[in-house]
């Protein structure tokens, strides 16, 4: 990292009250902070858009609207991106018409592959398992609907992936590919292609471009998370950054969003932007042992979401903005990822947990308790007193004369932009009477948790 620039960043961040330790381990942009210069390159990132078609008509399937993909591209256009990354699963059932849907939206937002000011916006797309074999998920459904192979080839994308891709996107199809955008190198690996073949391409480009010796990051795109084979093959390339999709995991859960593969280079998971909406929250992986094994309730109430990123690349850092494309809005402070070698890395789970802080209830927050319906209904106020540590779930304990009852529930709206929570962010939880502990007087305690397991102070009530 450039010494003078590091000093500037330290001074700017310190002035905003943000401590900077050895190795500059800031991971989230503090309020009011802005990079001191324009980014070198800006690109949007989406994955798993899953635009579905009715098989026989080829028209959009009912309920599978294209709004969210269009919203994502429109937002990227407004951010003046230089490129757009798609990490696969564009077609839901692997139909030609489903890939064509994406091209139709693309052409409306970026006609002739250009932004409004005329600069070219590069497509950095890889396909996913639904693109290549989506029909297989229904017992070879394609053969049942289109028994004639000639007719089937008119509908199934993978029957001629190269020909269909070139016709729809206007560019050749390669199993692995390399593109350079504004001096930055991007590598793509389509689903099912060997990591060895991908690594060979990276090494071939390295001979000419000097990737391993460069201070600039290069980017690796795939649908599924790369495995250990790729890590071993690309061990010298410490400045690589990967993006992958497939898992539909929400980027409000820190556990899902950042991975090290063999501690060699970072891979960032891309959430889904599919029409049905994807909760994709997952279990909280880092909680006290006492909470282990207690399921989290309320998945349907947290808010379906369609998400993606805008990535801004500077000389010594990436700034990643998390965005929701349904209701619209930010999903939290920007992630700042310093480039270079760090041990521990500032986005490793241990370091994140130190800096994410604790979600807290506001002073004077009251827990609501209502009896009736053969049980009690808890009304948990939103724990939003610390905006830098968004509440993800609540741990509920009810104590009486015998063994206490433990429950966990997702915070309503935690999957949506702050301020968009339904019901004012109040989380309702019904506890059946038959599950309550015995006793004439019950004590209820609710503790807010972040997705990394950091917890704030509880609020309580007597029943």
351 shares a domain with 373: no
CATH number at 235 reads 3.60.21.10
**Of 324, 356, 388, at which residue does a domain stop?**
356
Q: Which of 356, 381, 409 is the last residue of a domain?
A: 356
- The pLDDT score that the predictor gives to residue 299 is 66
Shared-domain flag, residues 339 and 374:
no
* Rounded Cα distance, 461 and 463, in Å: 7
Say if residue 329 is in the same domain as residue 260: yes
Same domain, 293 and 416: no
- Note the pLDDT of residue 73: 98
- Residue 384 and residue 343 share a domain: no
Please tell me the distance from the alpha carbon of residue 16 to that of residue 372, in angstroms, as a whole number: 50
**Which pLDDT belongs to residue 20?**
33
Q: Are residues 176 and 91 in the same domain?
A: yes
pLDDT of residue 360: 97
H or E element at residue 221: strand 218-222
* Domain count of the fold of the chain: 2
Neighbours of 350 (CB within 10 A): 10
Q: Kindly report the pTM of this predicted structure.
A: 0.88
Q: Where are the alpha helices (DSSP H) in 141-242?
A: 141-145, 149-153, 161-169, 195-209, 228-233
Query: In which domain, by residue range, is 257 found?
Result: 21-356
Answer yes or no: do 432 and 350 share one domain.
no
Which CATH number fits the domain that encloses residue 412? 2.60.40.10
Same domain for 396 and 428, yes or no, is: yes
CA 396 to CA 408: how far, in whole Å? 6
The predicted pLDDT at position 139 comes to: 46
Which regions in the chain score pLDDT beneath 50?
Answer: 1-26, 138-139
For residue 267, the cross-strand partners are 242, 259
């Amino acid at each position: 990292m450039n010494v003078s620039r590091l000093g500037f960043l330290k001074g700017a961040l310190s002035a905003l009250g943000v401590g900077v330790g050895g190795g500059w381990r800031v991971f989230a942009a503090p309020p009011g902070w802005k990079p001191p210069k324009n980014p070198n390159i800006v690109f949007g990132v989406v994955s798993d858009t899953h635009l579905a078609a009715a098989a026989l008509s080829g028209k959009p399937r009912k309920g599978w609207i294209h709004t969210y993909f269009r919203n994502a591209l429109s937002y990227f256009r407004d951010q003046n991106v230089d490129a757009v990354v798609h990490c696969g699963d564009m077609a839901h059932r692997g139909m030609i018409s489903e890939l064509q849907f994406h091209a139709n939206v693309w052409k409306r937002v970026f006609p002739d592959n250009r932004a409004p000011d005329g600069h070219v916006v590069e497509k950095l797309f890889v396909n996913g398992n639904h693109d290549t074999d989506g029909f297989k998920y229904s017992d070879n459904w394609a053969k049942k609907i289109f028994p004639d192979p000639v007719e089937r080839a008119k509908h199934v994308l993978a029957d001629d992936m190269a020909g269909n891709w070139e016709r729809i996107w206007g560019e050749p199809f390669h199993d692995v590919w390399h593109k350079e955008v504004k001096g930055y190198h991007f590598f793509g690996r389509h689903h099912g292609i060997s990591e060895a073949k991908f690594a060979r391409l990276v090494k071939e480009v390295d001979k000419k471009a000097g990737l391993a010796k460069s201070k600039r990051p290069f980017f690796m795109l795939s649908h599924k998370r790369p495995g250990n084979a790729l890590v071993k093959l690309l061990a010298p390339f410490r400045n690589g950054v990967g993006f992958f999709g497939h898992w539909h995991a929400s980027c409000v859960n820190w556990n899902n969003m950042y991975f090290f593969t063999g501690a060699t280079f970072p891979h960032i998971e891309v959430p889904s932007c599919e029409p049905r909406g994807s909760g994709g929250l997952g279990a909280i992986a880092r909680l006290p042992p006492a909470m282990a094994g207690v399921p989290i309730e309320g998945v349907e109430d947290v808010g379906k979401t369609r998400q993606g990123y805008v990535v801004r690349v500077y000389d010594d850092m990436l700034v990643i903005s998390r965005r929701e494309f349904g209701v619209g809005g930010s999903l939290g402070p920007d992630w700042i990822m310093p480039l270079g070698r760090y041990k521990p890395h500032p986005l490793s789970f241990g370091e994140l947990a130190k800096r994410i802080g604790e979600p807290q209830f506001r002073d004077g927050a009251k827990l609501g308790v209502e009896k009736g319906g053969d049980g009690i209904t808890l009304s948990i106020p939103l724990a939003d007193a610390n905006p830098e540590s968004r509440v993800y779930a609540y741990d509920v304990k009810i104590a009486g004369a015998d063994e206490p009852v433990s429950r966990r529930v997702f915070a309503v709206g935690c999957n949506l932009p702050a301020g968009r929570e339904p019901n004012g962010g109040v989380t309702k939880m019904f506890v059946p009477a038959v599950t309550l502990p015995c006793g004439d007087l019950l004590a209820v305690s609710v503790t807010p948790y972040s997705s990394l397991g950091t917890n704030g102070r509880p609020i309580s009530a007597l029943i």
